Amino acid sequence: MTDSLRHIDVHGHRIAIASHNADADSPPLVVIHGVSLSLNVWPHALHHTLRHRRWYAVGLPAHFPSQPPPGFNDQPMPPSLFGHGLLEAIRAVIGEESFTVMGHSTGGYSALAIAAEAPDQVRAVCAISPFAQGRWRGIIGLLQFLARIPGIGPGLGAAGLWLLARHAMIARVVTLFATTRPRAYWAWPPAADIARVMVADLRRGSVRALAHFFDEIHDHDIRSALGAITAPTLLIHGTADPIVPFDQSLLIQRFVPHAELLRLNGIGHMPFGEAGDDYAQPLEEWFDRVDA
Q: Whose CA is closest to 93, among 137, 142, 30, 152?
A: 30
Average pLDDT, the chain: 94
Which region among 9-13, 27-31, 241-245, 288-292 has the lowest average model confidence (pLDDT)? Answer: 288-292
CB contact at 8 A, 127 and 111: yes
Whole-number pLDDT of residue 47? 67
CA atoms within 13 A on the CB side of 143: 24
**pLDDT exceeds 70 at position 2:** no
Q: For domain 4-136+219-291, give the CATH superfamily.
A: Alpha/Beta hydrolase fold, catalytic domain (3.40.50.1820)
pLDDT band for position 225 (cuts 50, 70, 90): very high
For residue range 12-40, list pLDDT tens digits in order: 999 999 999 888 888 899 999 999 999 99
Average pLDDT for 240-263:
96
Angle between helical axes of 138-147 and 153-164 (0-180°, round to 10): 140
Average pLDDT for 129-151:
96
Q: Whose CA is closest to 87, among 120, 62, 65, 63?
A: 120
List Cα–Cα distances, 189 to 46, 183, 185, 266, 284, in angstroms: 12, 12, 9, 21, 19
For residue 218, how far is the Cα from the chain centroid? 15
Domain range summary for the chain, segments of one domain joined by +: 4-136+219-291
**pLDDT exceeds 90 at position 184:** yes
**Dist. CA 35–CA 29, nearest whole Å:** 20
Amino acid sitting at position 180? T
**Sign of the CA dihedral running 86, 90, 37, 185:** positive
